[in-house]
Amino acid sequence: MRIEDKVALVTGAGGSGTGRAIARRLAHGGAAVVVSDVEEEGGAATVRDIESGGGRAAFVRADVTSEPDIEEMVAFAVRTFGGLDILVNNAGGTPRPHFPDAPVEHWSRTLDLSLRGPMLAIHYALPAMRERGGGAIVNISSVAGLGYAPHSSPEYSAGKAGLARLTATLAPLGERDNVRVNCVVPNWIGTEEVLAEIAVMSPEERAEVPEELTAPEEIAELVVRLVEDESLAGRVFVWWTGEPPEPMPVVARPGN
């Protein structure tokens, strides 16, 4: 799929990290970009950034833990730019405290943000994409969802694991609706938030952090690759810091 003249929607694009880098890269490729976030100031800053480079963008305030908000952000894309071709489920986060010590409503929101929100976004995006003859969806997961090791935020890990598995199960949409769903599973990304987190770590914790972090722009380039490459559907790309992305092969057969 050529990005030029397509309409893209990126959730969590109002911060200074990965979402903004993805939105900027899609706009640079010629897409009209809907910037979705709960932070209005950050969302407006992303739009200004894109427009200053000659791109097209519009902001919609949407909380992806809210079904009405998700439905409206998709409708906003259609109203504003005439349709929807690309969806990037990037919004995420895991504020303390964590499961099982956090209140149910607190850890449930993180689980919704990581998994239910992207599922709802896909649900509402599909009809709009079908009207345009197809589309591409990229989910942003995390290595926190891989393997069997303990993690400080079980709700975040479970949600991100579910998001990667969801992606693989949706591979048949490529043939059924001409909508390709893929997933990026990054490790440490050098966003302002992550750098601030590293700064307050103990020496023991910091020793576990790689010397080089992945730049948000690197993730943005992979997202563009997955949108453009029509041979990929249902793939989960694991990106370990300092290494090229490693795709998990998917065999889309009933019963797998």
Could you list the active site residues? 156
255's torsion region: left (phi>0), alpha (psi -120 to 50) or beta? left
DSSP 219: H
Spell out the residues 6+ positions from residue 155 whose beta carbon is closer than 8 angstroms to its own: 94, 98, 99, 102, 107, 108, 110, 111, 114
Give the dihedral of Cα atoms 91, 42, 4, 55; nearest 10 deg: 180
Question: Reduced to 3 states, what is the DSSP secondary structure of residue 237?
Answer: strand
d(Cα 117, Cα 121) in Å, to the nearest integer? 6
- Give how far Cα 5 sits from Cα of 81, 82, 158, 193, Å: 10, 11, 36, 32
Distance of CA 16 to the CA centre of its chain: 14
Using alpha carbons only, give the angle 188, 194, 200 rounded to the nearest 5 degrees. Answer: 120
Residue 80 parent element (H or E): helix 67-81
> CB of 124 within 8 A of CB of 74?
yes
- Give how far Cα 172 sits from Cα of 106, 128, 167, Å: 34, 18, 10
> CB of 201 within 8 A of CB of 229?
no
